[in-house]
Amino acid sequence: MSRVMESLRVLFGGTPRRVDKKDMPAEVREVHRQKVGDKERIAALRAELAHKAEHRPPEKKRRLRWTVLIAVNLLFVLSYYFDVQLLEGALTASRFAGFHLADLNSALQVMLAFKHVVINLLIGTTTVFIMWWLMGGRSFCSWVCPYHLLAEWAEMLHLKLRARGMARDIQFDRRTRTWLWLLFAALALATGYTVYETISPTGILSRALIYGPGVALVWVALLLLFEIFFSRRAWCRYACPIGLTYGIVGATSPFTVHYSLPNCFHEGECRKVCLVPHVLDTVIKGRAAAMEVDIGADCTRCLRCVDACPTGALSIKYKGLGDLL
């Protein structure tokens, strides 16, 4: 339980706790000590990483994820275009085979705005809650959200520009997202409107794909430009209330990314590719307080770290089924 509470604290914007070496189990202290002395292994890893940097193997899991993300969004588009009754609506609210499905954050906003529990919405929300709990919560972000895909492409450009000194990475307080979540909940309650929906890039893009482009796309373009030139992945890292909602759902999910201390040599390749590097604080040299650690709720299960780790220290785990990859 304390792992879940700590994971939620970090999700809400807290700094990951550092455990003092003397409070770590003796076997963990011993692994940390041994690794400092394993010069041969560290030199071999450095050579491997230098080789990898030159040859850049394809990120297979990332390609699979993009394919799934595009396919899910395409399903809504095709269903609307061909008037297939099986799937109706957009990502924020839809019906599948007559079953109401609702994005959890939108459903919450609607209920706060209406100030009563809409029964159809409650059924849809419960279905979606269970589904995303089983699938890891924020996996909605990296496997379904259309803004995530555009933001990943914008991030690639941002990194290229930064390498040339043409872009900056301004870091904001991560607690901003929690305050925004509360602000939009309060606005829905006070105004009776789902205010967040008007600026949600997820909703704007999903509706634009299905029903055609609108002026709201200018807002999405401005967000992307801001991320490209001023702050890497700013919206998803510091602002989006949907990400926070799904993070809460995933806090106790059986689907996690799993870290194994004995296999890690702290090269930090995983943190370089991660959207939310604070969840990987445990991989920093001397930080892990246990031999095996489940990565926290803010993890989007994008699996980029699993691909990036040269020593297989990160894997996908489904509780009850063990390591999957």
Binding site for ligand SF4 (CB under 6 A): 141, 145, 147-148, 201-202, 235-236, 240, 242-243, 257, 273-276, 279-280, 295, 299-305
Least Cβ distance, residue 49 to ligand SF4 (angstroms): 17
Query: In the complex, what is the shortest distance from the CB of residue 73 to ligand SF4, in angstroms, rounded to a whole number?
Result: 12
| CB of 103 closer than 8 Å to CB of 128 | yes
Smallest distance from the beta carbon of 242 to ligand SF4, in angstroms? 4
Closest by Cα among 89, 126, 95 to 108 = 126
CB contact set of 278 (below 8 Å; sequence gap of 6+): 10, 15, 16, 174, 298
**By three-state DSSP, how is residue 272 classified?**
helix
Q: Which CB sits closer to ligand SF4, 36 or 170? A: 170
Query: What is the Cα gyration radius of the chain?
Result: 21
Q: Specify whether the CB–CB gap between 279 and 39 falls below 8 A.
A: no
3-state secondary structure of 95: strand
Which residue lies nearer to ligand SF4 by CB, 88 or 155? 155
Question: Minimal distance in Å, beta carbon 213 to ligand SF4?
Answer: 18
d(CA 13, CA 245): 13
Closer residue to ligand SF4 in complex, CB, 9/29: 9
- Name which of 71 and 117 has its Cβ closer to ligand SF4: 71
Q: How far is the CB of 59 from ligand SF4 (least distance, A)?
A: 11
Residues forming a β-bridge with 13:
none
Residues 6+ apart with CB under 8 A from 253: 133, 134, 135, 136, 137
Q: Which is nearer to ligand SF4, 110 or 295 (CB)?
A: 295
Give the closest residue to 274 by CA, choosing from 140, 147, 154, 155: 155
Number of H helices, E strands in the chain: 16, 7
CB of 43 to ligand SF4, least distance (A): 26
- We find the least distance from the C-beta atom of residue 196 to ligand SF4, in angstroms, to be 11
Nearest to ligand SF4 of 145, 224 (CB atom): 145
**CB–CB of 243/136 below 8 Å?**
no
Residue with the CB atom nearest ligand SF4 in the bound state: 243
Nearer to ligand SF4 (CB atom), residue 29 or residue 59: 59
Kindly tell me which of 107 and 240 has the beta carbon lying closer to ligand SF4. Answer: 240
For 224, counting Cβ atoms within 10 Å of its Cβ (0-12 exposed, 13-18 middle, 19+ buried), the class is: buried
Q: Name residue 118's amino acid.
A: V
Both structure tokens of 292: 């095996």
Token duo for residue 148: 């995530």
Least Cβ distance, residue 174 to ligand SF4 (angstroms):
12
